[in-house]
Amino acid sequence: MSPPGAAMMTGVVAEVVNQWAVITIVLSGFALVTGVFFIRRGNREAHMRAMLVASALATVFLVLYLTRLGLGYEKKYIGPYRVGYFSLLISHVILAAANLPLALLALWNAWKGLQAAGNLGNIDAPAARPFFQRHRMWVRWTVPVWLYVAVTGWIIYLILDRYGKVMNG
């Protein structure tokens, strides 16, 4: 049997974990946009750093999100416009699931390209070129999906903050 107040404490911890999950995914989205900005300006080093930060923050988000679920913290939508909300939620979940392998493929090709090049100034080296070409191919899909997932996640969070009911796990 749990000690008195254990469920309430778990709920408080889960709420804090949830808040930090939201913070990390918001920061991840900003780092992603920053990385895109830097690569469009030709600043490969700043791009790489921003994308590593975005990836690390997204990883922390995933750990926090799964921890929150493990603690039994879940909100049920009780608001109006159910079809609209669930359409947004379903598209978010499907694309979030697709985003992980997309991001991993983009990161893998960038990593292999950097290894083949030896440094960022040498990415056009013949051995590195195919990896960076594949990296560019994957990010054309990954960035829009990642941004959609991040933005819809923020919207879902705000909707559930207004129209959500915490479910007892």
Q: For the segment 84-125, what is each residue's pLDDT rounded down to a tens digit? A: 999 999 999 999 999 999 999 999 999 999 999 999 888 889
Return the pLDDT at 7.
62
Q: Alpha-carbon distance 96 to 41, whole Å?
A: 28
Return the pLDDT at 5.
62
| DSSP classification of residue 164 | E
Q: What distances in angstroms separate CA 30 from CA 16, 36, 51, 73, one per listed residue? A: 21, 10, 10, 26
Tokens 């926090």 correspond to what residue?
A: 64
* Residue pair 128/35 in contact by the 8 Å Cβ criterion: no
6-167 carries CATH number 1.20.120: yes
> Residue 100 corresponds to which tokens in the numbers above?
């992980």
Return the pLDDT at 114.
95
Buried b (16+ CB within 10 A) or exposed e, 94-110: ebbeebeebbebbbebb
Global pTM value: 0.85
> Residue 30 corresponds to which tokens in the numbers above?
């900003």
Return the pLDDT at 72.
85
Query: For residue 26, which of 121, 114, 154, 119 has the smallest C-alpha distance?
Result: 154
Return the pLDDT at 120.
86
Q: One digit per residue, pLDDT tens: the chain, 169 residues?
A: 556 565 666 778 888 998 999 899 989 999 999 999 999 999 999 999 999 999 999 999 999 999 998 988 888 999 999 999 999 999 999 999 999 999 999 999 999 999 999 998 888 899 999 999 999 999 999 999 999 998 999 899 999 999 999 876 5
Return the pLDDT at 36.
96
Reported as half-sphere exposure (CB side, CA atoms, 13 A), residue 114 has a value of: 12
Locate all alpha helices (DSSP H) within the chain, ordered by sequence. 6-40, 44-70, 82-117, 129-163
> Residue 76 corresponds to which tokens in the numbers above?
């049920």
> Interhelix angle for 6-40 vs 44-70, to 10°?
160
